[in-house]
Amino acid sequence: MMDMETETELELDRISNLPNDVTEKILSRLPLREAVRTIVLSSKWRYKSDMLRDLVFDDRCVSTRSGVTFVNIVDHVLLLHTSPIDKFKLSRKDELATRDMDRWIFHLSKNLVIKDMILKIWNWNPYNIPSCLFSYQDIVKLELQWCLLRPPSTFKGFRDLKSLDIMLVYLAQDVNENLVGGSPLLEILKLRSCTGFTNVKMDAPNLRIIDITDTTLTIIGNFLKYLSIGALPEKLPKPCHYLNFLSV
């Protein structure tokens, strides 16, 4: 009787010669853990991880019975990946080594196009985002948690960014102004439990949602002063025609 691994290998042999678009659909419908297992089991599929467009690395990637570590999975998929990525998510409740995260982000910055970047870090200390992340000018959605943002002095915002959601993040005043004010297409802005700045200034007329919660009263007060030059809330310095949600 054939064992499960042998059956899997035979099944892979049957579909190894399928067209790439069919192979891509097969992989995209598998949980990432199973897609990685499939790629590892067959040498013919060894480089097909490049077809994966949504790379979601979280606690569901790892099986306690597999003997494969979380870092091994990320390395195996990501370091062989050279094609555009629709979504990259790194969320791990166990602490991750800074050197591993730095390596992954540096690899992403070399030649990959990323539309959606999510980093949910649970380490004891905030993760200091490498400066190379600020070169990702194709990002449309950026979500960060428990990080320090110290971009290079040349950073002036993300040209295509539409959604910015940061929580428990330290960012200095000039970083805040460059990140928010330098992203003209911004539609969604969420700053939750963030520190390091005292004013929120923005030049983003497409804003639809502003959520500034769990922050200091100084920041909220200055933000309201910014929104209402004169008697609150009669006048906006630059009208937000599409704004339909404001939470402070």
Strands (E), the chain: 54-57, 85-92, 114-121, 127-128, 141-149, 163-171, 188-192, 209-213, 245-247
Strands (E), 83-154: 85-92, 114-121, 127-128, 141-149
Angle at 197 between CA 193 and CA 201, to 5 degrees: 105
What is the residue-wise DSSP string for 217-243? HHHHHHHHHHH-SSSTTS--SS--TT-
> Model confidence at 91, in pLDDT bands (50, 70, 90)?
very high
Least confident interval from 89-103, 195-209, 230-244:
230-244
154 compared with 199, residue with greater pLDDT:
154
> Model confidence at 8, in pLDDT bands (50, 70, 90)?
low
Which residues are registered as beta bridge partners of 209?
188, 245
Are the beta carbons of 104 and 133 closer than 8 angstroms?
no
Cα(214)–Cα(158) distance, rounded to whole angstroms?
Answer: 25
pLDDT at 53: 83
pLDDT at 220: 60
Name the token pair of 223.
Answer: 């933000």
The DSSP 8-state label assigned to residue 195 in this structure reads: B
> Average pLDDT, whole number, for the chain?
78
**Neighbour tally for 179: CB within 10 Å:** 26
Question: Tokens 């499960």 sit at which residue?
Answer: 4
Residue 123: left (phi > 0), alpha (psi -120 to 50), or beta? beta
Strands (E), 134-234: 141-149, 163-171, 188-192, 209-213
The mean per-residue pLDDT over the stretch 28-51 comes to 64
Rounded (to 5) percent helix, strand, coil in the chain: 35, 20, 40
> Model confidence at 97, in pLDDT bands (50, 70, 90)?
very high
For the cut 70, the answer to whether the pLDDT of residue 13 exceeds it is no
pLDDT at 167: 92
In order of their start, the domains of the chain are 84-247 (3.80.10)
pLDDT at 117: 95
Least confident interval from 58-72, 80-94, 106-120, 130-144:
58-72
Name the token pair of 177.
Answer: 């102004």
pTM for this prediction: 0.80
Are the beta carbons of 33 and 68 closer than 8 angstroms?
no
Q: How many CA atoms, within 13 angstroms, populate the side-chain half-sphere of residue 52?
A: 30
pLDDT at 60: 84
